[in-house]
Amino acid sequence: MPVTPRLAVGFLAVFVTAAGCASSAQRIEAYKTGARQTRATSELKRGINFGDAMDAPNEGDWGWSLSTSAFKAVREAGFDHVRVPMRIASHCDPSPPYRIDKRFLHRMDWAVDQALSNDLGIIIDLHHYTSMMDAPKAHADRLVGLWRQIATRYKGMPRAVVYEILNEPQKKLTAEIWNPILARAVAAIREIDPDRLIVVEGAHWASAQDLRDTLQVPAGDPNIIASFHMYAPMYFTHQGFGWMEPRYQTRGVTFPGPPPRPVVPVAAADLDPESHAWFQRYNSEPAITNPGGPAAIIEQLDIAKAFADRTGLRVYLGEFGAGINADLDSRARWTRLARQEAEKRGFGWGYWDFCRNFAAYADLGITGRWIPEIKAALLD
């Protein structure tokens, strides 16, 4: 049959799509129409946080950028979703309608497509909105405006695309101020997308205590997931990171406590009453009561479980991890215990993080590999 110009164009379009060369935006539309399928689900049982990439001031500023190989590695390892922190508020107009930069939107499309193409659910997490924490009432309209845009863009997408309103409310964004703003953001999304899963957090860095005691969840919405973050004990998980307060700079803290030999805290920790008391107990108390032992983890998870039992809502452990400044065996023990105890309580989870300060994966530039001890602690 002769090939007319119109048929030639049609054949080319089919070839381009089949070869995977369509743009991310085109593939997003194909998911909406059902022309493109995914086996990803919204169960969010076992996931990885892609921290320090799209949540950097500009992707790549903090040493790495998302790649196709990262999504593939996560899926092949056996995880079912990724949480992708995104610094969306730094890539939009300051005034109404708060238009998100097209290049950043296209990168969002790419991340969503990469997740679904690898049969991974994806949580779009609005991260590092620092201005919101400092002046929440001045930025409330902007937060709502951003979610109107995102909800409009991804309406009709598979249920495996999940929204997280705001990461770790803190500072001046107290529970009293946060709860009404949260309700507005959820309502704005619901006007556009009534059934999308939405992840919400309480104040004070998404603490378990604020999840239980202060978070007000919009009533009658079955598609809300309540989230909290857990890094207890911080003197272990965050030891030695330069971006932490001086009292967290003591290294050599092992898990679980007590240590084989007493750990001498840095001067800033020794002079701080709370830190001083913690290290005294850590160095001396038996494992069952030691603040650097399993009880520290279990306490936080039980607080979150109390919320789940009271409300009947699904609860998600959105962040937990042991930093790379701790010894690897301790990191693995902490991670395994936290993961197992979360699963015992019916919590899905997202480990923080993939390949950075709390790495589960050693990113070697061109190639990479899972850190066997951390991978086993998460999946075995």
**Model confidence over 161-204: pLDDT tens digits?**
999 999 999 999 999 999 999 999 999 999 999 999 999 999 99
Residues in Cβ contact with 168 at an 8 Å cutoff, skipping those fewer than 6 apart:
201, 205, 206, 229
pLDDT recorded at residue 365 = 72
By C-alpha distance, which of 339, 336, 299 is closest to 212? 299
Under DSSP, is residue 274 helix (H, G, I), strand (E, B) or coil?
helix
| Domains contained in the chain, CATH given | 21-233+294-379 (3.20.20.80)
Q: What is the mean pLDDT of residues 343-367?
A: 94
Q: What is the mean pLDDT of residues 331-340?
A: 98
Under DSSP, is residue 44 helix (H, G, I), strand (E, B) or coil?
coil
Confidence of residue 15 (pLDDT cuts 50, 70, 90): very low
pLDDT over 90, % of the chain: 91
- Which amino acid appears at position 174 of this protein? T
In this prediction the pTM is: 0.93
**Model confidence over 64-114: pLDDT tens digits?**
999 999 999 999 999 999 999 999 999 999 999 999 999 999 999 999 999
CA dist., res. 308 & res. 316, Å (int): 10
156 Rama class: left (phi>0) / alpha (psi -120 to 50) / beta? left
Q: What is the mean pLDDT of residues 32-56?
A: 97
Q: Is pLDDT above 90 for 17?
A: no
- 150: which 2 tokens? 């995102």
Q: What is the mean pLDDT of residues 263-268?
A: 98
pLDDT recorded at residue 21 = 58
**Model confidence over 196-255: pLDDT tens digits?**
999 999 999 999 999 999 999 988 999 999 999 999 999 999 999 999 999 999 999 999
- H-state helical runs in the chain: 5-18, 24-33, 68-77, 102-117, 130-134, 136-154, 175-192, 203-206, 208-213, 234-237, 267-271, 273-284, 294-311, 328-344, 372-379
By C-alpha distance, which of 88, 74, 84 is closest to 51? 84
Question: 368 — phi, psi (to 5°)?
Answer: -165, 175
- 120: which 2 tokens? 């991974």
